[in-house]
Structures are given as C-alpha cells and as structure tokens.
C-alpha cells in the first residue's frame, strides 16, 4: 500500500510505502496528484518517506512506477528521499540524470528538514 498525503497549501505530496508497491498504488497516487497539477501546473515537491524501501510486487509494477515518474517528473520541482535505505543515495545520484526535479536524500529521521528544503527552495 502507498499512502499519499497532499499538502495543498505547500504543494508537497508525501508518499509513504507500506509493504511492496503494486500497480494500483501508482494509479491511486495519480488520482490524488494529477488534479492538483492540473489546477496549479506543478508540485513544489514530492517526499518519499520510508525507513527501508519495500520493493515492488512484480516486474509490471516496476514498469508502472517508471511510467509514473515519466508522466510526472516535469511537473515536480524537488524530490526528497527520506529513508535509511541505500536506494535514497542511489536515487539522488542516478535519478537526477533522468528527471527534471532536483533530488536530495535525507536520513529517515529528518522528514521536517526535507519539508523545509522543499518549501524554502534551499539547496
């Protein structure tokens, strides 16, 4: 399951995976995020907040995840990976070559720092 919390005032979507990700998780996230982007043109940021990355339930879900990123990355200014998983550092260095958003990794206990980084636009 993927919990999605959209702070409309700050323009920040916080995604919190709980267990392996499914295709439906990305469809549900799009139903929450897409109307906001349609109204305001972009999100200030996305926060992926998870202690350790749970993975995907299938290869098809991984493909759905990549399509979700492809369809949304031009409408997101910043992405914060708030995790103790090694995937956070990996994403910060590798994903920045494939998406328009600025990406930064934060340790799992620094959610507030990630929110401030997105809200303030600090580097």
Q: pLDDT tens, 46-59?
A: 898 988 877 777 77
CATH topology of domain 2-120: Transcription Regulator spoIIAA (3.30.750)
User: For residue 82, what are its two tokens?
Assistant: 């708030």
pLDDT in tens, 5-50: 999 999 999 999 888 888 888 889 999 999 999 999 999 998 989 8
Is-contact 4 14, C-beta < 8 A?
yes
Give me the residues paired with residue 1 across strands.
Answer: none
User: For residue 109, what are its two tokens?
Assistant: 């206990």
Q: CA–CA distance from 121 to each of 5, 113, 115 (Å)? A: 20, 12, 10
User: For residue 48, what are its two tokens?
Assistant: 């992926």
pTM of the model: 0.84
Give the whole-angstrom CA distance, residue 102 versus residue 100. 7
């Amino acid at each position: 399951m993927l919990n999605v919390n959209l702070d409309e005032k700050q323009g920040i979507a916080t995604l919190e995976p709980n267990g392996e990700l499914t295709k439906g998780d990305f469809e549900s996230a799009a139903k929450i995020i897409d109307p906001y982007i349609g109204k305001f043109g972009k999100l200030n940021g996305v926060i992926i907040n998870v202690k350790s990355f749970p993975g995907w339930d299938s290869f098809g879900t991984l493909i759905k995840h990549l399509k979700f990123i492809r369809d949304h990355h031009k409408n997101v200014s910043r992405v914060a990976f708030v995790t103790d998983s090694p995937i956070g550092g990996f994403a910060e260095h590798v994903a920045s070559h494939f998406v328009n958003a600025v990406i930064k990794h934060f340790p799992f206990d620094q959610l507030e720092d990630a929110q401030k980084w997105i809200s303030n636009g600090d580097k």
